[in-house]
Structure 1
Amino acid sequence: MPHSPDNLPLALYSAAQVRELDARLIAAGTPGFELMSRAAHAIWRTLRRRWPDVGVLTVLAGRGNNAGDGYLVAALALRAGWRVQVLAVGDAAQLQGDAALARDQALAASVPVQPWREGVELQGVVLDALLGTGLQGAVREPYALVIGVLNASGLPVLAVDIPSGLCADTGQALGVAVRAELTVSLIGLKLGLFTGQAAEYLGELQFDDLQADAALVAAQTFTVQRLAPASLPQLPARSRNVHKGQLGHVLVVAGDRGYAGAGLLAAQSALRTGAGLVSLATRSEHLPAAQARLPEVMAAGVASANQLLALGVNASVWVVGPGLGQAAWGRSLVSAAATCHVAQVWDADALNLLAQGLVELPPGAVLTPHPGEAARLLGISSAAVQADRPGAARALAQRYRAVCVLKGAGSLIADCDGALWLCERGHPAMAGAGLGDVLAGVIGALLAQGLAALPAAQLAVYLHACAGERLALQGRGLAASDLCEVIRELLQEQSACLS
């Protein structure tokens, strides 16, 4: 997912919260039409910088405040000598309040306004001022038809506030959505711009706060906080006389027959992220490969829960589930892990067994489901998880009283109190096997070095995603094991080993 400039605000709002902030600004003395005028100037400045030589603008205007922004932009473009047309979708006479004032101002400035009809030609840069953040349910006609025509036109598109048809709260396309080249978000960043399907529709994201009073903005409740370099947790620098016993002992419980690699990936990433000691509990037949591939890891074959408990007595963190399977062997090992009250990361088949009600989660664990695993844990469909990723992440954290990492585009981290953090970093090249095993090992290593569950999850998700971005510069074919060395480099840049 293309990441946003680091100068964007960290707070992400729901549509309702942005409307509340807008109302507070108006109540504090900034008229609504003044905010609309500021929005129009911000959009026009951005449009002119991006496409300085086009000289032709088509505004697609709906029936809400986004339409008002569009009418005012049209007037500014006409005044600057551009050839302008406004195509009104729906009856422009039904606009109300500030949007109606904007329409009247555009008409007074001789902006050509005509009803949209099939076959009308879109020209130049197209300003999407159709539907705003208040959209409920699937896009209806004639808007769905207009959006289809716009997407097929091949013309550059600037979306006002959010691409029309994209849900401001979940990032899901509500039936159909505008594919913009550039989106200018206003007043407050919307959560839906950073998760779900947003990356397919957003284009480049820019933001303008419309000169909103900083104190009012700071007082407004927000839904999610973006992870960014300045806000990331840090590992402390190491003292000169530190030894491995002070840096934690990670036990990876993983790898049924046919899945030896999952345990190796988790163990390797735990090593490269700085855990003092790493053990691997796996099938006995996997030991030669483990010892050849990772001689630094203490690999042991286990056949029963009792053997695992004896092996894990000295471990400070358990990473449970990668490639573990759901047969008797895997079930017995997860059941043993559930009895140990140490820091744990549960991934993959541990989550599937948890979803079946066969085990109980130990206190203080970190869960790392992908959407399919999240669906099983919640008893809903994967589509339902993806339709409301923030809601799913919160529900998981609260149901299991754990920190939950919901993986995917715009990975979300939720704590059991309902707070959410989002990582928009990452790249499509990361769509491959084993990357989740690497993430589980990174979280385990950070826990082993003293971070609590929430900051360990936050830092691990960010490092993992940024490593994928850096490697994606080489194109397709990213292998999960490639991430381990890059995560090590990024951790050194973020939390230097020595002060």
Structure 2
Amino acid sequence: MNYRPLPDTDRLPYALYRADQVRRLDRLAIEVFGIPGIELMNRAGAVAYRVLRARWPQARRITVLAGTGNNGGDGYVVARLAQADGLAVRVLQLGETDRVRGEAALSLGAYRNAGGVIEAARELPPATDLYVDALLGTGLERPVTGRWAEVIAALNAQRAPVVALDMPSGLHADTGRVMGAAVRASATVSFIGLKLGLFVGAGAQYRGELHFSALDLPARVYAGEILAAARIDWARESRSLPPRSRIAHKGDCGHVLVVGGAPGMSGAARLAGEAALRAGAGLVTVATHPRHAEWLNLDRPELMVSGVESAGDLDALIERADVVAIGPGLGRTDWGRGLWARMRALSRPLVVDADALNLLAETPGCGPDWVLTPHPGEAARLLGVTTAEIESDRLASARRLQERFGGVVVLKGAGTIVRGPAPRLPAVCSQGNPGMATAGAGDVLTGVIAALRAQGLDAEEAARAGVCLHAAAGDRAAHTGERGLIAGDIIAALRGLSNGLDGED
């Protein structure tokens, strides 16, 4: 029978899988669709070899580090192809070759039959142009120790680029957790399905440039597998923004109320308010402490500002607002606590950030129509665990937050996760950069999500689109360098991106 293959594209797929799911897809391709396992291994090695030759065309000396499983089998294919191309190839084996089984053994035999030599991995060669990491792959469930950890440490200490096959060795395929030691790859070539761990946890730090091939599997192989998560980016989420009516007025574009800005923290509320304007809200009011209400909008007169002495002063402002963003610079004094208590008692769509999240952690409750935007530290306080526990499995942490507090959860960080009520898939943003680890960036995100919510998107749509717009704006701002990027640079990029004028990242 002929089946339509799932095409490889220049853009990465949006489907993310756990390691066990990819193994099931692999078995299905072999057992039901009749593709021999050695054929899939040959395809994987050929794809990886094409990537490394295209990316490092000057490399003439290649060292393959091979384990005893199928990941090592892929590495033998790369070695055989490189040798046939006239490159100087060394294969360093970890683990005894007599432990190699199945398709990997066939691949090993093909490499030897072509004249290839396999050496024990005693030490890394002093001169090589490129390494191929074919040690461990996706099946790792226990910490890397002993000789394996030593080799990974030596690999990370040298300067030549490293291409990882399927997953950087030592990185957990589901959580992105470093299992004792992990290879810091210059590039990773992933096969059949993108693994979740490449996008969460430490994945972005260890994977390098990411390439993908479905190995020409029939599309029907994937039909029965429910995704672990969806990858999201601005190229896709921008479609959720409705076009502006030609007869729109500012009231049609939503009114955002930002509540925050205790004494000494007025900048946070100001950043959230300006971000809401740049993300398209028709009206933005900042309800802030009277101490700085008179001058907060001096250089941004488009913002309306109202000084609030106490919670009762909020009522008229809330009545006019479509969405309330609360938390930026709110503080945890009596003033901030009073405003938070008032907002919890009223029914308005909320975006909850910063100190509002810390106050929520003190008196937990469930809200059906709010978006919570914690960073890992705030998430830890909300769940009563450590930050390390949050980061050890970010997807599970987002699920626990959503189940406990309701609404939609945005767990910020590298690979920001958006989690709404089940059975909707969690989403992982694949954009953003380390330059966004800067004061005020979270306040900007709060304003962006609130603005999109005010323009008619539901809570989860606004969270997904807002996270991606914010991340894409951060990437746009980082075109002149990540170091020194400030929150205002992110705001400056919002308008062009939200109108499709700056292209795609």
TM-score range, shorter chain: over 0.9
Cα shift at 1:454:
0.8
- Decide whether the 8 Å contact of 2:496 with 2:502 is kept in 1: no
Equivalent-residue separation in structure 2 for 1:299 and 1:201 (angstroms): 45
Which residue pairs with 1:405 in the alignment?
410
Q: How does 1:211-250 map to 2 (within 5 A)?
A: 211-228=216-233, 229-250=235-256
Which region of structure 1 is more displaced relative to structure 2, 173-182 or 258-267?
173-182
Q: Cα RMSD (Å) of the superposition? A: 1.9
Give the secondary structure class of the aligned counterpart of 1:211: coil
The residue type equivalent to 1:126 in the other structure is Y
Cα shift at 1:120:
5.5
Equivalent-residue separation in structure 1 for 2:53 and 2:301 (angstroms): 59
Which residue pairs with 2:371 in the alignment?
366
Equivalent-residue separation in structure 1 for 2:359 and 2:191 (angstroms): 44
Q: 5+ residue gaps in structure 1?
A: none
2:78 maps to 1:82? no
Cα shift at 1:117:
1.4
- Decide whether the 8 Å contact of 1:405 with 1:457 is kept in 2: yes
- Decide whether the 8 Å contact of 2:237 with 2:465 is kept in 1: no
Which residue pairs with 2:60 in the alignment?
55
Which residue pairs with 2:24 in the alignment?
20
TM-score, structure 2 as length reference:
0.93
- Decide whether the 8 Å contact of 2:330 with 2:355 is kept in 1: yes
Which residue pairs with 2:495 in the alignment?
488
- Decide whether the 8 Å contact of 2:367 with 2:405 is kept in 1: no
Cα shift at 1:263:
0.9
Which residue pairs with 1:148 in the alignment?
153
Give the secondary structure class of the aligned counterpart of 2:294: helix
Counterparts in 2 of 1:164 and 1:353: CA distance versus 1, 3 Å: same
Equivalent-residue separation in structure 1 for 2:186 and 2:244 (angstroms): 46
Equivalent-residue separation in structure 2 for 1:128 and 1:239 (angstroms): 53
- Decide whether the 8 Å contact of 1:171 with 1:195 is kept in 2: yes
The residue type equivalent to 1:9 in the other structure is P
Counterparts in 2 of 1:49 and 1:486: CA distance versus 1, 3 Å: closer
Equivalent-residue separation in structure 1 for 2:195 and 2:494 (angstroms): 29
Counterparts in 2 of 1:401 and 1:113: CA distance versus 1, 3 Å: same
What is the CA deviation profile of residues 188-231 of structure 1, one whole-angstrom value per residue up to 9, with x for unaligned ones? 11111122222222221111111111121243222111113135
Equivalent position to 1:67, from 69, 72, 75: 72
Equivalent position to 1:327, from 298, 315, 333: 333
Equivalent-residue separation in structure 2 for 1:281 and 1:353 (angstroms): 18
Cα shift at 1:156:
2.1
Equivalent-residue separation in structure 2 for 1:163 and 1:311 (angstroms): 52
Equivalent-residue separation in structure 1 for 2:337 and 2:282 (angstroms): 28
Counterparts in 2 of 1:116 and 1:477: CA distance versus 1, 3 Å: closer
- Decide whether the 8 Å contact of 1:394 with 1:419 is kept in 2: no
2:198 maps to 1:193? yes
Cα shift at 1:368:
0.6
Which residue pairs with 2:130 in the alignment?
125
The residue type equivalent to 2:80 in the other structure is A
Equivalent-residue separation in structure 2 for 1:124 and 1:433 (angstroms): 40
Cα shift at 1:145:
0.4
2:138 maps to 1:138? no
2:306 maps to 1:310? no
2:299 maps to 1:288? no
What is the CA deviation profile of residues 34-87 of structure 1, one whole-angstrom value per residue up to 9, with x for unaligned ones? 111111111222223233343322111112110111122222222222222211
What is the CA deviation profile of residues 294-317 of structure 1, one whole-angstrom value per residue up to 9, with x for unaligned ones? 322221121222222233122111
What is the CA deviation profile of residues 375-420 of structure 1, one whole-angstrom value per residue up to 9, with x for unaligned ones? 1111111111111111111221222111111111111111121521
Give the secondary structure class of the aligned counterpart of 1:43: helix
What is the CA deviation profile of residues 125-183 of structure 1, one whole-angstrom value per residue up to 9, with x for unaligned ones? 21111011111122122110011111222122111111111111122222221122221
Equivalent-residue separation in structure 2 for 1:495 and 1:234 (angstroms): 17
Counterparts in 2 of 1:485 and 1:86: CA distance versus 1, 3 Å: closer
What is the CA deviation profile of residues 268-299 of structure 1, one whole-angstrom value per residue up to 9, with x for unaligned ones? 11122221221111111111222423322221
TM-score, structure 1 as length reference:
0.94
- Decide whether the 8 Å contact of 1:234 with 1:494 is kept in 2: no
Equivalent-residue separation in structure 1 for 2:404 and 2:37 (angstroms): 41
- Decide whether the 8 Å contact of 2:124 with 2:154 is kept in 1: no
- Decide whether the 8 Å contact of 2:237 with 2:464 is kept in 1: no
Cα shift at 1:337:
0.6
Cα shift at 1:109:
2.3
- Decide whether the 8 Å contact of 1:57 with 1:127 is kept in 2: yes
